[in-house]
Amino acid sequence: MLRKRLISVLTFCDGVLFRTKDFTPDYRYTLSFVDAWSIDEVVVLDVTRTDAVARPAFDAVIQQFASQCFVPLAAGGGVRTMEDVRRMMANGADKVVVNTGALERPELITEIAESYGTQCVVLSIDAKRQDGGGYRVHANCGQAPTDLTPAEWAKRGQDLGAGEIMVTSIDNDGSLEGYDLDLCREVTGAVTVPVLIAGGAGAWKHFVEGIDEGHASAACMTNIYHFTESSIRSAKTYMAKAGVLVRQ
């Protein structure tokens, strides 16, 4: 059985690390560094809305992480062309996270997979619960609803070549009250590739719930108070005691 992963997801606006709440930059942080973390992977996402400002600042973020952390690094935010992909890979990313760009042009997923391999493509799905029930995928940092359900978009993304799916609850983002497990189960039930659950974790028990009840392959955490070596090691000890097979 494959060991489950614990993944840090860091969001940057104009090259500065922020926590998000409801998909809006909420609190600014100064980043010490992650070299000593016991984390399994790191995801860095650019949530800057102005591309002209975002690109050089975020390029520097990727380069900094690639030079100083020695776990797989995924980068995303504003990826709409193969040139965007090549730039992130050249800056040191091991994987590329695609979201709105893939919704606008789904063949982008296949192009990345054919150029770099399916293991390099992480399809990010931002979903919001509907008043009448069910979920809908949203684009443009959660601002633009689509007609797609998370399950059907995840399945199509897998068929196009995505090697992993990262599903984030817009409603739970920054809440610290736990993941949306129903949302995650909807996605994990539709695909066979690994699913990363994100949005809402605020306690170690939420990581266990995401894996045991959401059936995720990896639990993502997005709030900086988790990001110390001791807290991550403690979280993994907690998960192991709860019966989750984790990487040490």
Considering the domain boundaries, does residue 111 fall inside one? yes
Range of the structural domain that residue 121 is part of? 5-241
Nearest to 13 by CA among 63, 49, 43: 49
Considering the domain boundaries, does residue 12 fall inside one? yes
* Cβ within 8 Å of residue 201, ≥6 positions away: 176, 178, 179, 207, 210, 219, 220, 221, 222, 223, 226
Considering the domain boundaries, does residue 183 fall inside one? yes
Considering the domain boundaries, does residue 248 fall inside one? no
Name the residue type at position 123: L
Considering the domain boundaries, does residue 246 fall inside one? no
Q: Are 187 and 165 in contact (CB under 8 A)?
A: yes
- pTM here is 0.92
pLDDT at 25: 52
3-state secondary structure of 2: coil
* Mean pLDDT, 10 residues at a time, the chain of 248 residues: 89 80 52 61 86 73 89 94 96 97 98 98 97 94 93 98 97 91 98 97 94 97 59 88 91
**Residue 9 DSSP symbol:** E
**Which CATH number covers residue 39?**
3.20.20.70
Considering the domain boundaries, does residue 19 fall inside one? yes
Considering the domain boundaries, does residue 35 fall inside one? yes
Total number of domains constituting the chain: 1
Considering the domain boundaries, does residue 247 fall inside one? no
Residue 194 token pair: 């690994």
* Cα dihedral 179/199/130/123 (nearest 10): -110
